[in-house]
Amino acid sequence: MYTGVEPMALMWSLRPVPGSQTGLRLQRRDVLSPMIFHISVYDGHITQDFNQLTPLVITIIERWYMAPGVQCFDVHEKGVRGSLFIPPGPGPFPAILDLWGGGRILMRYRAALLASHGFVAFSLDYVENLKFSEKGIDITYFEVACQIMQDHPKVLRDRVALWGISVGGSVVLTMAAFSSVIKPRCCICISCSHVIPIRDTLSEFYARMNRGYKARVKDNQVIWRDVVLPIPTDLAEKVDVGRIKCPLLLVVGDDDQNLGAVECAEDMERMTEKAGNRHLFNILIYPGAGHLIEPPYSPHHRASNYMLSEEKKVIMLWGGQTRPHAYAQEDSWEKILDFLQQHLCNATPRARL
């Protein structure tokens, strides 16, 4: 629900139909076709059983994630799986390795949007790919994926960014700090932690995270924010973000209930200050925003289903209040595009409309 004039509130305020299965989360999987919205206006204030009434008027709108001319290719190469999005035009273009979080489904709509803004974007499947890998996925998997992207003829191989949310952000921090193969121009991390570095395989990382010894359950919802708290002082238990030599943009919500993201951001700031790299570290902290800071106008989900393993599903509390969370998504998206424009395209930030 919302009040006042909100041009896109019909999108970000969407809720499941009353009586729906609990824990649903709206995400677009098929980005090759638009998401269709049927908007109906009824007489009076109606909270349920509206599908049994006759609407005053109906209209249909489409939300596209791919601009005309954007191409999408499935990648199954050198053990790497994912989807590569190429902008229209001759290129070559700057490129972004796009890493989602711990969900077990490959999400491609952010990469499609990035390609629509002129960046090659590689949405990488790594969580689901764990079960296809005999030896386990380690940091090499992400390095190979980045090299595959860099080798594409339409990519400017020296203008590559890493972008991750949640677990994907932890991977980005690890790569930026320790990889001798990939040297990104810049990195974007959303709602992530530098605690529990990826030393060996991703499966071992998940095993440490999923122990749940600090997890809490309230109203049948799992709260994970304390898993990384208190922030350890031993550098061996964290990614040494002071080693990162490229601009880093960190986006966090102060109502993140899945991760102690604000505490992690503050500690990372101290670490970069100590290392003399504070000038490379940029933080956006959004009051009232939760963990799932997605592209703009995505519906806010304070809690939703989450697969801890292939056998165990829980309701995970992500946090956030709808209106401030929607603002965080819209504002951070604009600032991220400006950040990418500045560091990948060597251009001044775009003019705001």
* pLDDT tens, residue by residue, 74-129: 999 998 999 999 999 998 999 999 999 877 678 899 999 999 999 999 999 987 65
Q: What is the pLDDT of residues 282-308, one digit of tens each?
A: 999 999 999 999 999 999 999 999 887
pTM, rounded to two decimals: 0.91
* Alpha helices, H only, 200-321: 202-209, 261-275
Residue 312: exposure state from Cβ atoms within 10 A (0-12, 13-18, ≥19): exposed
Looking at residue 198, its pLDDT comes to: 76
Q: Is residue 185 part of a domain?
A: yes
* Mean predicted lDDT score pLDDT of the chain: 89
Note whether residue 139 is domain-resident: yes
Contacts 24+ apart (CB under 8 A), 25-32: 25/301, 25/304, 25/305, 26/298, 26/299, 26/301, 27/105, 27/107, 27/109, 27/298, 28/65, 28/109, 29/105, 29/107, 29/108, 31/65, 31/66, 31/72, 31/108, 31/109, 31/112, 32/66, 32/72
Mean pLDDT of 160-182: 94
In a domain, 270, yes or no: yes
pLDDT of residue 344 exceeding 80: yes
**β-strand pairing of 186-190 with 248-253:** parallel
Q: Rounded to an integer, what distance in angstroms lies between the CA atom of residue 304 and that of residue 47? A: 22
Q: Residue 312 — pLDDT band, cuts 50, 70, 90?
A: confident
Is there a domain that residue 318 lies in?
yes
Q: Domain limits at 170?
A: 66-344
Structure tokens at 294: 């997605």
Catalytic residues: 166, 256, 291
Q: How many CA atoms lie within 13 A of 36 on its CB side?
A: 5
**Per-residue confidence band for 313, with pLDDT thresholds at 50, 70 and 90:** confident
- Largest Cα separation within the chain, whole Å, is 65
Of the pLDDT bands very low, low, confident and very high (cuts 50, 70, 90), residue 209 is low
CATH classification of the domain holding 91: 3.40.50.1820
* Domain total of the chain: 1
